Homo-oligomer: A and B are copies of this chain.
Amino acid sequence: MNRRRYAILASGEFAGRAAKTAHGVIAYGSDEVVAVIDAEHAGKRVREVVPILNSDVPIVADFAGALDFSPDALLIGVAPAGGALPAAWRATIVTSLEAGLEVVSGLHQILAEDPEFTAAAARGGGSIWDVRLAPEVPLFSGEAYRVESRVVLMVGTDCAVGKMTVALELTRAALIHGASARFVATGQTGIMIAGSGIAIDRVISDFATGAAERLVVEHAPGADVLFVEGQGGINNPAFAPVTLALLFGAAPDALVLVHRPSRKVVDELGTPLLSYRAAIRTYEALCATVKPAKVVGIALNTGDLDAAGARAEIERAQAETGLPVDDVVRFGPDALYAALAPAFAIKGVPLAEPVPR
Contacts and interface: CB of A to CB of B under 8 A. Distances in A.
Interface string A193-237: 000000011111110111000000000000000000000001101
Interface string A245-282: 10011010000000000000001110110100010001
Contacts of A244: 240-241, 244
A204 B206 contact: no
A187 to B, nearest CB: 10
Interface in A124-168: 138-140, 142, 145
Given A82-B139, A204-B204, A244-B244, A210 B235 contact: no
B142 A237 contact: yes
Number of copies: 2
B202 A202 contact: no
B140 A206 contact: no
B290 A209 contact: no
Contact of A210 (B206, B238, B285): B238
A103 B56 CA distance: 61
A272 B291 CA distance: 10
Interface string A272-311: 1010001000100110011100000000000000000000
Interface residues of A, number: 45
A278 B286 CA distance: 11
A28 interface: no
Contacts of A108: 204, 206
Contacts of A291: 237
Nearest to A238: B140
Nearest to A209: B238
Contacts of A200: 205
A14 to B, nearest CB: 23
Contacts of A271: 289-290
A267 to B, nearest CB: 8
B209 A140 contact: no
A201 B205 contact: yes
Contact of A83 (B145, B206, B245): B206
Contact of A205 (B82, B203, B282): B203
A14 B256 CA distance: 47
Nearest to A211: B205
8 cross-chain pairs, A with B, having the tightest CB-CB distances, nearest first: A235-B289, A140-B238, A201-B206, A241-B241, A142-B269, A237-B248, A241-B245, A205-B208
Given A205-B208, A237-B249, 18 more contacts: A82-B206, A108-B206, A145-B269, A203-B205, A206-B239, A206-B242, A209-B237, A209-B240, A209-B241, A234-B289, A235-B286, A237-B251, A237-B291, A240-B244, A240-B248, A241-B242, A241-B245, A244-B244
Interface of A: 81-83, 108, 138-140, 142, 145, 200-206, 208-210, 234-235, 237-242, 244-245, 248-249, 251, 267-269, 271-272, 274, 278, 282, 285-286, 289-291
23 contacts: A108-B204, A108-B206, A142-B267, A145-B269, A201-B204, A201-B205, A201-B206, A204-B204, A205-B205, A205-B208, A205-B242, A206-B239, A206-B242, A208-B241, A209-B237, A209-B240, A209-B241, A235-B286, A240-B248, A272-B289, A282-B285, A282-B286, A285-B285
